[in-house]
Amino acid sequence: MSHRSIRDIDLTGKKVFIRVDFNVPLDENGTEVTSDTRIRAALPTIQLALRKGAAVILASHLGRPKGRPKSTMSLDPIAPLLEKLLGQHVTKTGDCVGDEVNHLVAQMSPGDIVLLENLRFHAAEEANDPDFSAQLASLCDVYVNDAFGSAHRAHSSTEGIARLVHKKAIGLLMEKELEYLTMALSKPERPYIAIVGGAKISGKIDVLDRFLELADKILIGGAMTYTFLHAQGIAIGGSLLEKDKLDVARTIINKAGDKLVLPKDHVITAKLQADANTRVVDGYNEPIPSNMKGVDIGPATVDFYKKTLANARFIIWNGPMGVFEIPEFARGTLAMAHAIAESSGLSIVGGGDSEKAIRTAGVETSITHISTGGGASLEFLAGHRLPGIEVLSKTT
């Protein structure tokens, strides 16, 4: 499937609606942006549109306001930051549709930027409501989607609007995402190692299936380990278990043979809190006691995974190796971040938690591509359709 890029469209004198991903973390009052990574990531597309002579309308969701205006989820704090980064005035609207927006957009000249208020202040956005989509579409001549993280959702700003605007394209960030994720599905250099962690097998079943076809090894970490171990009759104590996924786990184990690599040892604790006492067990000779749970991969696993990654030519990682939010249980996850960074192969990291680990480890510049969309990248890799991308596929 190919997609027209913003590079290939004439934008001179056009009003361009860019769906960006400004779903940034704010402080608890909603007044300060605590990480501007996503805003910076959107700049190349915005700057290109301006250079090409467009007037730019920016739209995004932020958080989950549940269809109602919520002061702590306003895009207000983003406008001054954008002004600083772009070195020009940004007009922030009080809503994303309605008279004020129509009036301001009607008056825009090339080079102007309008930032709309949070799209999800209207329930119609997530409902992909045709009237709401039409109101958004009426603002622009050209539609550009640069919000990969929302592309797996058929919402008004990602799907409905794109059906109504004739000229449409993907932005530079979206283009980069598709390029790298497509690489993971084609035939990259081998050994191809996938690292899959996180809380649950559910949500990652299809992607695990796909990695069974594509990768040479799948290194497992995180709580999903324990459903796999329990499915083989190994005692997991009080570790997280998805009882309803035991059959799925058995099917994956049987299909995988030695491709699926489970942790050799575990960091266990009785309490999920900082400064809790921890112990390392291998789980086979020394089972996890019933009052304790696995919270990280153990040192022998870290060593083994590091050795496996050292020879890799292509690495893809999604999901933490343990409860990495608590520093005592973050060692395995951070060790993976460093091991991936040290590898001379290509590396793709997806998912908010893995991305956070990469940044905590300070190795972002040593990763080939950090995906901006956790859910969307899993859907893409699993081979599911992404409505926000499908609607932009080239027909002519």
359 is a site residue for ligand AMP (CB under 6 A): no
Single out the catalytic residue among 67, 111, 203, 352: 352
| 196-to-38, 204, 220, 241 alpha-carbon distances in Å | 24, 8, 5, 16
CA distance 351 to 343: 20
Q: Is 352 a catalytic residue?
A: yes
CA terminus-to-terminus distance, the chain: 12
| 109-to-9, 56, 314 alpha-carbon distances in Å | 18, 9, 46
Q: For residues 185-204, which are near ligand AMP according to CB under 6 A?
A: 198-200
CA distance 314 to 3: 25
Residue closer to ligand AMP by CB (options 134, 270) is 270
388 is a site residue for ligand AMP (CB under 6 A): no
210 is a site residue for ligand AMP (CB under 6 A): no
Residue closer to ligand AMP by CB (options 14, 293) is 293
Q: Is 38 a catalytic residue?
A: yes
Kindly indicate which of the ranges 1-9, 38-46, 96-104, 322-330 contains the residues binding ligand AMP, using the contact rule CB under 6 A.
322-330
353 is a site residue for ligand AMP (CB under 6 A): yes
Q: What's the CA angle centered on 281, arms 277 and 283, to 5 degrees? A: 135
241 is a site residue for ligand AMP (CB under 6 A): no
222 is a site residue for ligand AMP (CB under 6 A): yes
DSSP one-letter code for 120: G
Q: How many CB atoms lie within 10 A of CB 71?
A: 10
Q: Is 350 a catalytic residue?
A: no
Residue closer to ligand AMP by CB (options 283, 351) is 351
Which residue's beta carbon is nearest to the bound ligand AMP? 198
Single out the catalytic residue among 14, 38, 176, 245: 38
Q: Is 394 a catalytic residue?
A: no
Amino acid type, 227: T
DSSP one-letter code for 157: I
What are the helix (H) ranges across 25-160? Answer: 37-51, 78-86, 99-106, 123-126, 130-137
Q: How many residues bind ligand AMP (CB under 6 A)?
A: 15
Residue closer to ligand AMP by CB (options 101, 236) is 236
x/- mask, ligand AMP, residues 275-304, rule CB under 6 A, reads -------------------xx---------
Backbone angles phi, psi at 266, to 5 degrees: -140, 145
Residue partners of 270: CB distance under 8 A and separation at least 6 = 276, 277, 291, 292, 293
Selected binder of ligand AMP within 10, 100, 131, 325 (CB under 6 A) = 325
Q: Give burial (CB, 10 Å; 0-12/13-18/19+) of 189.
A: exposed
Residue closer to ligand AMP by CB (options 198, 387) is 198
Single out the catalytic residue among 200, 210, 279, 306: 200
The residues that touch ligand AMP, with contacts defined as CB under 6 A, are 198-200, 222-223, 240, 294-295, 319-320, 322-323, 325, 351, 353
Which residues are identified as catalytic? 38, 200, 352, 375
